[in-house]
A and B are shown apart, each in its own frame.
Chain A
Amino acid sequence: AQSVTQPDIHITVSEGASLELRCNYSYGATPYLFWYVQSPGQGLQLLLKYFSGDTLVQGIKGFEAEFKRSQSSFNLRKPSVHWSDAAEYFCAVGPPPSNAGNMLTFGGGTRLMVKP
């Protein structure tokens, strides 16, 4: 069965500091990996996705993620955090792109707080 683990429930960083959010997955085939962000009371917005190619993926809002197959990880990073980055972040895994929709399994989320 597929699963996603986000080990850190809460993370607090100072504005301007670097950020890394961890994501470990379990999936029996080549995974299709995603990071989403959710502001309070809102839906999820896609930050970036990875299926193949360069293992360092660039996303929106200055975020990037690195796929490491040997570690089953897909960690999200940002060099300098802004106060507006405070939100909840979700990692998700799904099957390779196909015509059968895209069933995702989500991690439990990491809530990011940013100190001024």
Chain B
Amino acid sequence: DGGITQSPKYLFRKEGQNVTLSCEQNLNHDAMYWYRQDPGQGLRLIYYSQIVNDFQKGDIAEGYSVSREKKESFPLTVTSAQKNPTAFYLCASSGQSGGPQHFGDGTRLSIL
């Protein structure tokens, strides 16, 4: 079945450490997105990519970085510059026709 796979499901970060969250899709979608979700809040856009080798900052990009070397993959790195990284991170994708976004099951990041 086609879908979006996020890994790991749980991730812990030490002080000063960079961590990378994986997002892979086999839906043949061009656009991919990363969101951050904090308890009791909606989704906030971190980065998005509409095509391979191109991406744009969202509303809260500071302290995060991404790459889009392959259509299927859009990894998110949470850098040490992100001082409050504890959150639930969601990856999504959408097709060229502008259809709805499809979501992965998320990665929960916590601080050790």
Q: A residues bordering B, Cβ < 8 Å?
A: 9, 32, 34, 36, 41-46, 49, 90, 95-104, 106-109
B43-A106 in contact (CB<8A)? yes
Interface of A (DSSP majority class): loop
B97 to chain A, nearest CB (A): 6
A92 to chain B, nearest CB (A): 8
Q: Out of B45, B99, B106, which one reaches A97, CB within 8 Å?
A: B99
A46-B102 in contact (CB<8A)? yes
B98-A102 in contact (CB<8A)? yes
B31 to chain A, nearest CB (A): 3
Q: Out of A49, A95, A103, A106, which one reaches B48, CB within 8 Å?
A: A103
Interchain residue pairs with CB less than 8 A apart (11): A34-B100, A41-B88, A43-B90, A43-B104, A97-B98, A98-B98, A99-B96, A100-B50, A101-B30, A103-B48, A108-B40
A100–B31 CA distance with the chains assembled, in angstroms: 8
Q: Which residues of the other chain, A, contact B48 by a CB distance below 8 angstroms?
A: 101, 103
A106–B100 CA distance with the chains assembled, in angstroms: 13
B70-112 near A? 1/0 per residue, CB < 8 Å: 0000000000000000001010101011111111111010000
A99–B102 CA distance with the chains assembled, in angstroms: 16
Q: Which residues of the other chain, A, contact B92 by a CB distance below 8 angstroms?
A: 44
A98–B97 CA distance with the chains assembled, in angstroms: 5
With A101-B30, A101-B48, A108-B42 known as contacts, the answer to whether A42 contacts B106 (CB < 8 A) is: yes
A91–B107 CA distance with the chains assembled, in angstroms: 22
Q: Out of B41, B97, B101, B105, which one reaches A104, CB within 8 Å?
A: B101
A41–B105 CA distance with the chains assembled, in angstroms: 8
